[in-house]
Amino acid sequence: MKIQPRHIGFVCRGESRDISVLKALIECIREREGGEGFEVVLDPDSAYKLGMQIQGQRISDMDVDLLVCVGGDGTILRTLHYLKRPTPVLGVNTGTIGFLARVQPENAVSTLRNLILEGFNVEMRQRLSIRVMDEEMPYAMNEAVVITSKPGKMLHFVIFVDGEELERLRADGVVFSTPTGSTAYAMSAGGPIVDPRVNATIIVPIAPFKLTARPTIVDIESEISLELLGTKDAELVIDGQFYRKMEKEEKISITKGEHALFVEIPDRYFSRLLNKLRSGEDEEI
């Protein structure tokens, strides 16, 4: 069943180009029958920079049918960390590459207009639930990384899958990735590209000091755990947005998390992926 959005939220990275795109999107809504029947909500920073008479609202308080993120993938990842309700997200890519931000700025207004007129379907993407001992961390949309705090110093750790030891090794760290995040840090660390429709978690050691250490793909329903051995300083990094220092012998548990919701944009996934990866070869990320 398609969703007909009437309550629309906006989050914007805040650079001049982003604000210009944001203004055009809001004007598109206001042109639709004079804006009657629609509610527009902005995060406080965007409301201030836009200068319109629209009340700012924290992302965690937003209760909308559609949330439009204007920026890059980092803007979407930050937004997902703050969202408290299952909300379909549409990304407008004013960043560099944009795997999650699927709509280009020149198509943003026409895309939003079509979504308002015709409604949209929702695409669900897997996320990972992360716990450190008894402490809940934000969901991971792309990946959770355990990495050494001191370059040149390796970590010593053991990984379990459903209670069975998978690997015991020394390495710079390890990436636990969703299929969506398989084209991010995990790929750079030598992991496989995985179709986002696959229900899996990808485990990729970072610079392991062991010839037999290889990336591993396990069922998303598995419980993965990591225990630090030794005394080296380590950090947990989630989606490049959230950081937590890891203490000696702390244990991390990784399980299937709540899905993230995205507006379904039909396309040819692998053709788009190839184009993105080729364009990234010559750009600064």
pLDDT at 276: 65
Q: Does residue 123 contact residue 263 with C-beta atoms inside 8 Å?
A: yes
Identify residue 251 by its one-letter amino acid code: K
- Segment 22-39 shows an average pLDDT of 84
Task: Please state, in angstroms and as integers, the Cα–Cα distance from residue 72 to each residue in 15, 100, 116, 139, 285, following that order.
Answer: 11, 8, 23, 19, 10
Report the percentage of the chain scoring pLDDT > 90.
74
Active site residue 73: yes
- Segment 244-260 shows an average pLDDT of 93
Q: Which of 216, 223, 220, 249 is nearest to 163 (CA)?
A: 223
- The answer to pTM > 0.85 is yes
Burial of 195 (0-12, 13-18, 19+ CB in 10 A): exposed
Q: What is the DSSP letter of 33?
A: G
pLDDT, one tens digit per residue, over 117-167 is 999 999 999 999 999 999 999 999 999 999 998 888 899 999 999 999 999
pLDDT, one tens digit per residue, over 164-213 is 999 999 999 999 999 999 999 999 999 999 999 999 999 999 999 998 89
* First vs last C-alpha separation in the chain: 37
| pLDDT above 80 (res 272) | no
Domain boundaries, the chain: 7-125+260-280, 128-256
Q: Does residue 10 contact residue 43 with C-beta atoms inside 8 Å?
A: yes
Q: Does residue 96 contact residue 270 with C-beta atoms inside 8 Å?
A: no
| pLDDT above 60 (res 285) | no
| pLDDT above 80 (res 44) | yes
pLDDT at 150: 85
**Helix or strand run (H / E) with residue 129:** strand 128-132
Confidence band for 233, pLDDT divided at 50, 70 and 90: confident
pLDDT at 270: 63
The per-type count for the chain, helices as H runs and strands as E runs, is 6, 18
C-alpha 88/C-alpha 69 separation (Å) is 11
C-alpha 80/C-alpha 69 separation (Å) is 10
128-256 CATH choice from 3.30.365.10, 2.60.200.30, 3.40.50.720, 2.160.10.10: 2.60.200.30
* Half-sphere CA count of 194, side-chain side, radius 13 A: 31
Residues present in the chain in total: 285
Q: 7-125+260-280 belongs to which homologous superfamily?
A: Probable inorganic polyphosphate/atp-NAD kinase; domain 1 (3.40.50.10330)
The catalytic residue among 73, 134, 162, 267 is 73
